[in-house]
Structure 1
């Protein structure tokens, strides 16, 4: 077995930046169609609208978890294949299947790049607030910080803007789009105007990595974990090595904005947060629809806690602690929930914050004519056969997303609640676990980031 050497991480990072999706190689009809239909538009009529729609229906009928409940609608009612795909979905059960331009998706999850301004935002009651900033981005250079409120865009108050115009401004699809933002910084009385131009922004999978001690001398390791992307593998390993070096006694992983990503990253992260008691054990068992018992029975459908990185090059470091703290919220989704569910049979998992999004499902990427389609294909179960969180996972202690403090600040409400629990074993001023209603609300388009809600096979 090869040992883990820090100097080699630069090579691994460079490889992660350029990693591509492996080819589809099995002999199933869906796989053959996937490879055939990835042909560029215009070649032999393969990408005609009618052919795309037939492919969409056939793909869902083959792999969709609820294939026998597809919403049969006239395909002529829809002007694009993605619109037709959406109409066929079983909306009463499925909040997560989606399609997206392939280049945009690959850029984010494989290359760690997104077109935008570098601010991440949330909305409430007609207001928009900054959640966190990507380093070295237009928003960072404009000194925008967490907790700032966006008051208007191009002199139009947020409350007066249509959902369509907000989506266009906040989620640009090309570089060099310029907008004038009026913002009020956290704690400021006066607003200020900032012109931001969209560009390709590097997304940092982890941020604010730190170790610190409380007044009792207990040492903690904190990291903000934003996405299970290809690039995150190296950063997560480095962070755990830092925690080991500083001999932390508790690890706090802030996943409140982590909507998921690649399942293999979730398995690796869970292994590093645990120890020898999980190695080689079942992390997640994937169950496919009744058309594909061979997939459910395949060894690859039993995801184990790995001892090494995906490419079998480096040994994963392990914290080997009896418990882990995870900061959660409605944007903690899919692969992030897999970490919670997968670790629970083996160690104490303490959740601080709010209920997670509720996605025990996953899919594979199917590319066709420039679009990437993600139809829910499987449900994930832990080693105890549990997967009962379609309505979200309740936290151990409820605590607000405190926009008045920076992420990683021990005074920030969720981190403060985690520290209190670590010291006392109680929620303190935070509320204890309670039953919440089912998740049924649908975000408006400008707040919708559902394409990031991933439990994705690669």
Structure 2
């Protein structure tokens, strides 16, 4: 609902004029000075008319919305005019405080912080969250975040940015380091064919860059140079790497020039023939960009046309994104009869909200299994293809998060069997409505998603049944370590091979050592690093849209749901 604030009452300042008095003394003509003008009216009392902080008292957040210390002018990249008005830092902080109290899922666990003790908005927001932990000892709210609104809009619209189109895994973060390629974006510099060889492939190990030893360099200065080369700042920026490919000790040299790269949601779709029917395979890496709607629908149409009898959905690197697209995907897997009149996800808000969505002010209606295009990148109302499956194999790692987990939970809620192959998912049944205020977009956890059976308690993740992990929600399937020796879609690749084996005879491959550790490289090495060996190389934090549930709908960058 619109958040309009009455104009702030400003204390007025009135200039005082000093009356000039004519000097006495005799003078020719003896004329007297003109009478002095009447004194000006007394000024009103200064101070006291602006907003103030009162412990335990929370004014309506709308009173402070868009009252900005530094207002923006013009329009954003989606053409929406900025709503900013002149205000103050205090008003921005009071909005954050009230907005948190109104919408935060664990509002009663947030300390009442005096904004007068803060000099910037982001540190204040960072402290407005619960400090509780889950059963396994993890932070209950490990997802509190904010970023400049222009960055959020660029990511949501899949705006290109300088890159090579390579996704990295750090299997060992300190010397001897092990940095591999997880996958490459189609059509990117990383995927370019030079002298009959693709520049980078899954599993390629990075050994050096511009003469700096990636494996053994010990200093922080060297690590900074490595990071600068891995993540270029400008289009055309060029760096030379020494690499080795999986299965060989030979090295080769690759020179990569950064280009504007947009992340592709679907990077592979294939049909795998088996003795018991064709199996569909899709690598789906993000629900985030608006293009994800069309790309996953096109992939599903390809498999529907082929008449596949099973689906392996590779979500091992999919951290989340648009919840509406997660609903569409789930419908396309399960089909009409299984989803008819069923709930994909119901948002559970804080207790004070009752049956009202505290963000939109609307009745909290269940999110259905969306059966048509919604207008992200498909025509609104266009029919979606379906596979009509009662079972799906999902490939997972610790990077499988949020909206990906909503697919798992939503399908389990309507008794579609989900077989999990890989490792424990990240454990994020929570989501938010991205909210811009004065150029900063805030992600404060506002809801827990529950399925048609009213279940959503998977804060410690979904766990394959043969895992030794003591927490999480047990799911049929197998623990399998991520395989950097084979390409995604190769039936010899460990996770895909295990899914096909389980489909064939219901068995799992032998458990790997350390079966509960995260094998993806997303969180760095699974074991404690020896910092004495040298500086630690770490990946940047993933974009917030890569590991969250986003309630945004087309044409609404503030994230209001339909």
Q: Normalising TM by the smaller chain, what interval?
A: 0.7 to 0.9
Answering whether residue 279 of structure 2 is matched by residue 220 of structure 1, we say: yes
Distance in 2, matches of 1:200 and 1:146, equals 21
Match of 2:547 among 449, 453, 456: 453
If the length of structure 2 is used for normalisation, what is the TM-score? 0.69
Distance in 1, matches of 2:388 and 2:123, equals 47
2:412/2:418 contact within 8 Å kept? yes
| Larger CA deviation: 256-265 vs 307-316 | 307-316
| Larger CA deviation: 358-367 vs 382-391 | 382-391
Match of 2:488 among 379, 394, 407: 407
Distance in 2, matches of 1:337 and 1:83, equals 30
**Which secondary structure state, in structure 2, belongs to the residue aligned with residue 380 of structure 1?**
strand
Aligned pairs (5 A) from 1:11-410:
25=2, 29-30=60-61, 34=65, 39-40=71-72, 45-46=86-87, 49-71=89-111, 80-91=120-131, 92-111=139-158, 113-126=160-173, 127-141=178-192, 143-158=199-214, 160=218, 162=220, 168-172=228-232, 175=235, 177-214=237-274, 216-229=275-288, 230-275=290-335, 276-293=337-354, 294-295=356-357, 298-311=362-375, 312-345=380-413, 346-395=415-464, 396-410=477-491
The offset of 1:383, in angstroms, is 1.1
The alpha-carbon distance between structure 1 residues 155 and 102, as it changes in their structure 2 partners (threshold 3 A), is farther
The alpha-carbon distance between structure 1 residues 419 and 101, as it changes in their structure 2 partners (threshold 3 A), is same
If the length of structure 1 is used for normalisation, what is the TM-score? 0.83
Distance in 2, matches of 1:209 and 1:384, equals 32
Could you report, residue by residue, the CA deviation over 1:268-293 in whole angstroms, capped at 9, with x for unpaired residues?
Answer: 00000002211331111101123322
The two structures, once aligned, show a CA RMSD in angstroms of: 3.2
| Larger CA deviation: 340-349 vs 24-33 | 24-33
Distance in 2, matches of 1:330 and 1:138, equals 28
The offset of 1:186, in angstroms, is 2.4
The alpha-carbon distance between structure 1 residues 348 and 197, as it changes in their structure 2 partners (threshold 3 A), is same
Distance in 2, matches of 1:376 and 1:329, equals 23
The offset of 1:450, in angstroms, is 5.9
Distance in 2, matches of 1:428 and 1:236, equals 30
Could you report, residue by residue, the CA deviation over 1:225-277 in whole angstroms, capped at 9, with x for unpaired residues?
Answer: 01113111111111111111111111111000000001100000000000221
The offset of 1:59, in angstroms, is 2.9
The alpha-carbon distance between structure 1 residues 59 and 256, as it changes in their structure 2 partners (threshold 3 A), is same
Name stretches of at least 5 consecutive residues in structure 2 with no aligned partner: 6-59, 75-83, 132-138, 193-197, 465-476, 525-536, 553-562
**Higher helix share goes to which structure?**
1
Q: How many aligned positions are there?
A: 429
2:333/2:389 contact within 8 Å kept? yes
Higher relative contact order (CA 8 A, sep 6+): 1
The offset of 1:73, in angstroms, is 6.1
1:342/1:383 contact within 8 Å kept? yes
The alpha-carbon distance between structure 1 residues 82 and 149, as it changes in their structure 2 partners (threshold 3 A), is farther
The offset of 1:174, in angstroms, is 5.4
